[in-house]
Amino acid sequence: MSSKTAVVVLSDPSTGTEEAVGRVFNALAAAWDFAQGGEALVVFQGTGTRWPAVLADPAHPAHELYTAVRKQVATVASGGCAITFGATEGLEGEGISTVAQNQAPGTVGVGSLRELAQSGYTVLTF
Residue type, 47: T
Count structural domains, the chain. Answer: 1
Q: Which domain holds residue 85?
A: 3-125
Q: What is the pTM of this model?
A: 0.95
For 55-95, the pLDDT digits (tens) are: 999 999 999 999 999 999 999 999 999 999 999 999 999 99
How do residues 6-29 score in pLDDT, each as one tens digit?
999 999 999 989 999 999 999 999
Task: Give me the CATH number covering residue 20.
Answer: 3.40.1260.10
